[in-house]
Amino acid sequence: MKLEDIRREYTKDGLRREMLKDTPVAQFELWLQQAIEAKFADPTAMVVATVDEHGQPSQRIVLLKHVDENGFVFFTNTGSRKAQELKQNSKICLHFPWHEIERQVIVYGEAQALPTSRVAKYFLSRPKESQLAAWASQQSRPVSSRQALMQTFSSMKDKFAKGEIPLPDFWGGYCVVPTKIEFWQGGEHRLHDRFMYVKQADGSWEIERLNP
């Protein structure tokens, strides 16, 4: 089959203005819960897009770890490409592709670094192997082989065999404070339903329907 012939109709649901919550976070939490109940493999997986100093965008998949009215939280190695790009430009975009229920959510905003106390609290809640992996990986930097990576992991395992594993000084987190959030629901004949919440100067949210 030719690539241009691969298509399907979106018929699961529709989205109308009266169905939307007053705030985008409340609407997001509703959709996230429905994605969880649908038993997706990774309902909290999101594409995180950043831009480097040359204007080159880059993307990667990260897991959402918390959401509330303040924003969307994730954690990462601060030496990673995304963290280095956020130092240059704090603007960021998140994308939740919930294909199984024909929905997407796109978050536009700015990333604010989390305090060390909050990062440490989450880091200590992770499985021990994940903590060790954080120490072993110089994220986004070249590594000679898988074997070399595993050897570093093994040495970290020996080093921290006793007691708690400390928080690496190169590990942090961000809260993405949203300025706009789009909710996309697939529709028949490519007439999708799209609504954009736009934050106003007084902190309220204005909702506008977008053309598909």
Q: Is 92 annotated as a binding residue?
A: no
Quick one: pLDDT at residue 107? 98
Choose, from 16, 17, 141, 190, the residue flagged as catalytic. 190
Quick one: pLDDT at residue 30? 98
Q: Is 174 annotated as a binding residue?
A: no
DSSP letter at 166 equals P
Q: Please, what is the end-to-end C-alpha distance for the chain in angstroms?
A: 26
Quick one: pLDDT at residue 55? 95
**Single-letter amino acid, residue 66:** H
Torsion on CA atoms 138, 144, 146, 147, rounded to nearest 10: -110
Q: Is 17 annotated as a binding residue?
A: no
Q: Are 63 and 46 in contact (CB under 8 A)?
A: yes
Q: Is 98 annotated as a binding residue?
A: no
Quick one: pLDDT at residue 146? 95
CA distance 90 to 27: 25
Provide the H-helix boundaries in the chain: 24-37, 81-88, 116-125, 128-136, 146-159
**Rounded to 5 degrees, what angle do the CA atoms 38, 106, 90 make?**
130
DSSP letter at 57 equals E
Ramachandran angles phi, psi of 47, nearest 5°: -85, 125
Active site residue 141: no
pLDDT digits (tens, 9 = 90+) for 138-172: 888 888 999 999 999 999 999 999 889 999 999 99
Domains and CATH numbers, the chain: 7-126+170-209 (2.30.110.10)
Bridge pairing between strands 71-77 and 171-185:
antiparallel
Core vs surface per residue 30-57: b (16+ CB within 10 A) or e: ebbeebeeeeeeebbbbebbbbeeeeee
Beta strands in 39-84 (DSSP E): 45-51, 57-63, 66-68, 71-77
Q: Is 63 annotated as a binding residue?
A: yes
Q: Is 194 annotated as a binding residue?
A: yes
Quick one: pLDDT at residue 140? 83
> Helix, strand, coil: what percent of the chain each, to 5?
30, 35, 35
Q: Are 34 and 101 in contact (CB under 8 A)?
A: yes
CA distance 114 to 72: 11
Question: What distances in angstroms separate CA 33 from CA 29, 36, 74, 130, one per listed residue?
Answer: 6, 5, 18, 26
Quick one: pLDDT at residue 143? 87
Q: What residues of the chain score a pLDDT lower than 70? A: none
